[in-house]
């Protein structure tokens, strides 16, 4: 029988603006390294085949599946997990909106939903319902039936638009 | 190439994971140390089998690595390969990671030909301005591949070499008369898309070869394309899909189906103007297919998507 020498690699991952030096085997998935090596358990793992979206993280600001990527491949990339978009105290606007609209029940899908929505709103601050549904089509939720999630994202976008207009000193409030 | 021997620590795995000093845990998340420890007690937080990881710095290094490791597989976007590895349905001994080779991720149009690098991601293809302008049908189809997060990583070369019968892009290559450039360490050859796909998950790609780019002729001004597919939920693999090419008067039209047999199915015909005649034509062609599941339903869908693609083509929308 052939025996493989186990190889481990010392890599530095940049997660939520902090550098983490970790020793990994190349076969370790980014999702598992985030959870078990770095201790960021907000990244959830559901299907491990790219279907459910629970493990979605942002890589250089774009949503990607952390279960379909080896940790060694994330070297030099800017990783954002749910911990990275959560303020030290309280909740982000988007998170508060999910709470307000009952956009979650068990919460398993929520980190992936929030991160995908963050990326959507960063690109498209005022998405239509269809655009929200399209963006979130890769994130499964077994609890809410999606409508409340769409409401949450829509309301967060509207709130942002209003805040933005106010901050600009403009009086035009039709923003949303 | 980052030499993988530099990474060899020869330290037994158990010793490594028991050594909690090695695990960097930020203060904020000390509480999760427990999780780390639990996994240190022999439960492995990983699923794919062991492989040798090679990260080449350029195409030449990648091709040499492929040649020198008989069992090596290319890792591009990994959106088909990694799920298979997670379930150990695929256990390559060596992975050659080309995902960072930017030289293969370019799109250009020159002298009536569109050149698309093998490492172009689906989302990049979907959003690219030049593609939107000269091949809107391809832009539209690329936007239907998987979901956003999958499209951000999945690559054209990966999709073509995986050759899933229900995938959008292999059929797009056949419909758009693409030619694939296949390179290995010692040779290069061009293969028309129509000859490349040999059946269910099977292609003409030989050991040591990589799809480095494809070229697609810019369609003639009077040619029109349409694309439609049917999936149960957005982003799911299509149960049936079709591209329709209308060549304008005098020329031959074509329908290229996917999801209805082992690979893309292109049929040339002169598409009837009358709706009922057209339905007959599509039906007759669909009869030849041999879908694995629900044959009657899939053949019915083949007719439906062909008609939708035809309507799209007529409107010249994509
Ligand atoms: S765990 Fe990654 S998509 Fe389900
Ligand atoms: S809240 Fe339970 S899966 Fe979405």
Q: What is the pTM of this model?
A: 0.87
- A17 or B293: whose pLDDT is higher? A17
Q: What is the mean pLDDT of residues A1-16?
A: 75
Residue B68 contacts by C-beta under 8 Å, 6 or more apart in sequence?
none
- Candidate from A38, A83, A133 with C-beta closest to B25: A38
Given an 8 Å threshold on Cβ–Cβ distance, is A65 in contact with B150? yes
- B315 or B34: whose pLDDT is higher? B315
Superfamily of chain region A9-85 = Beta-grasp domain (3.10.20.30)
Give span(s): CATH 3.30.43.10, chain B.
Answer: 52-97
Residue with tokens 């999606």: A146
Give phi and psi for A86, each to the nearest 5.
-100, 125
CA B259 to chain centre: 14
Q: Among the listed ranges A55-59, A76-80, A128-132, B47-51, which one has the minimum average pLDDT value?
A: B47-51
Q: What is the pLDDT of residue B2?
A: 45
Superfamily of chain region A93-167 = [2Fe-2S]-binding domain (1.10.150.120)
Show which of residues 141-170 on chain A sit within 8 Å of chain B, judged by CB atoms.
none
Fold of B52-97: 3.30.43
C-alpha dist (Å) from residue A126 to A94, A121, B62, B128, B234: 14, 7, 43, 22, 21
End-to-end CA gap in chain A: 65
**Each residue's pLDDT tens digit, B105-120:** 999 999 999 999 999 9
**Each residue's pLDDT tens digit, B57-99:** 999 999 999 999 988 999 999 999 999 999 999 999 999 999 9
ipTM score of complex: 0.89
Given an 8 Å threshold on Cβ–Cβ distance, is A32 in contact with B45? yes
Q: How sure is the predictor about A160, in pLDDT bands with cuts at 50, 70 and 90?
A: confident
- Select B224-315's CATH number: 3.30.390.50, 3.40.225.10, 3.40.50.300, 3.90.320.10: 3.30.390.50
- B45 or B179: whose pLDDT is higher? B179
Q: How sure is the predictor about A6, in pLDDT bands with cuts at 50, 70 and 90?
A: low
Asked if B168 contacts B151 with a C-beta cutoff of 8 angstroms, the reply is no
Query: Would you call B3 an interface residue with chain A, using a CB distance cutoff of 8 Å?
Result: no
Please identify, in words, the CATH class of the domain defined by B102-217.
Answer: alpha beta
**Each residue's pLDDT tens digit, B119-132:** 999 999 999 999 99
For residue B305, give how far its alpha carbon lies from the nearest alpha carbon of chain A (Å).
21
Given an 8 Å threshold on Cβ–Cβ distance, is B153 in contact with A69? yes
User: Please, which residues bridge with residue B113 across strands?
Assistant: B110, B217
**Each residue's pLDDT tens digit, B27-49:** 434 444 444 444 444 445 458 99
Given an 8 Å threshold on Cβ–Cβ distance, is B78 in contact with A69? yes
Q: What is the pLDDT of residue A164?
A: 65
**Each residue's pLDDT tens digit, B148-177:** 999 999 999 999 999 999 999 999 999 999
C-beta A47 within 6 A of ligand 1: yes
Identify the residue whose C-alpha is closest to ligand 2 atom 2: A106
Q: What is the pLDDT of residue A1?
A: 38
| Ligand 2 pocket mutation pick from A112, A136, A143, A147 by most atoms within 8 angstroms of CB | A143
Domain ranges of chain A: 9-85, 93-167
């Amino acid at each position: 029988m052939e025996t493989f020498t186990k190889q481990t690699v010392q890599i530095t991952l940049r997660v939520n603006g902090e550098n983490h030096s970790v020793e990994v085997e190349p076969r370790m998935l980014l999702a598992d390294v985030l959870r078990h090596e770095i201790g960021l358990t907000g990244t959830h793992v559901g299907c491990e085949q790219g279907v459910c979206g629970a493990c979605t993280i942002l890589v250089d600001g774009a949503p990607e599946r952390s279960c379909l990527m080896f940790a060694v491949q994330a070297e030099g990339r800017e990783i954002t997990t749910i911990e990275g978009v959560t303020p030290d105290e309280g909740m982000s606007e988007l998170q508060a909106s999910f709470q307000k609209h009952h956009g979650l029940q068990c919460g398993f899908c929520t980190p992936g939903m929030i991160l995908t929505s963050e990326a959507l709103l960063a690109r498209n601050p005022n998405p239509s319902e269809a655009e929200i549904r399209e963006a979130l089509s890769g994130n499964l939720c077994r609890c809410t039936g999606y409508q409340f999630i769409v409401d949450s994202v829509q309301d967060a976008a509207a709130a942002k638009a209003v805040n933005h207009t106010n901050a600009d000193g403009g009086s035009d409030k039709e923003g949303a | 190439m980052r030499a993988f021997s530099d990474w060899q620590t020869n330290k037994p795995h158990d010793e490594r994971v028991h050594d909690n000093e090695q695990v960097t845990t930020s203060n904020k998340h000390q509480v999760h140390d427990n999780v780390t420890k639990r996994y240190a007690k022999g439960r492995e937080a990983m699923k794919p089998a062991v492989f040798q990881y090679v990260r080449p710095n350029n195409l030449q290094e990648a091709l040499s690595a492929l040649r020198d490791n008989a069992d090596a597989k290319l890792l591009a976007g990994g959106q088909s390969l990694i799920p298979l590895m997670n379930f150990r349905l695929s256990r390559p001994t060596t992975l050659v990671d080309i995902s960072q080779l930017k030289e293969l991720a370019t799109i250009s149009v020159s002298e009536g030909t569109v050149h698309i690098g093998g490492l172009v991601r689906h989302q990049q293809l979907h959003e690219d301005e030049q593609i939107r302008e000269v091949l809107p049908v391809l832009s539209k189809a690329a936007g239907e591949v998987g979901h956003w997060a999958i499209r951000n990583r999945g690559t054209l070369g990966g999709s073509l070499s995986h050759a899933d019968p229900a995938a959008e892009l292999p059929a797009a290559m056949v419909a758009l008369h693409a030619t694939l450039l296949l390179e290995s360490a010692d040779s290069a050859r061009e293969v028309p898309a129509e000859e490349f796909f040999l059946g269910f998950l099977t292609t003409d790609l030989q050991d040591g070869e990589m799809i480095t780019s494809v070229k697609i002729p810019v369609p003639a001004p009077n040619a029109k394309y349409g694309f439609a597919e049917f999936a149960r939920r957005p982003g799911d693999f299509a149960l049936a899909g079709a591209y329709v090419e209308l060549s304008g008067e005098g020329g031959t039209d074509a329908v290229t189906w996917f999801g209805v047999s082992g690979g893309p199915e292109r049929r040339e015909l002169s598409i009837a103007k009358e709706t009922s005649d057209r339905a007959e034509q599509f039906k007759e062609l669909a009869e030849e297919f041999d879908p694995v599941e629900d044959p009657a339903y899939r053949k019915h869908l083949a007719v439906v998507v062909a008609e939708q693609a035809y309507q799209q083509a007529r409107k010249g929308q994509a």
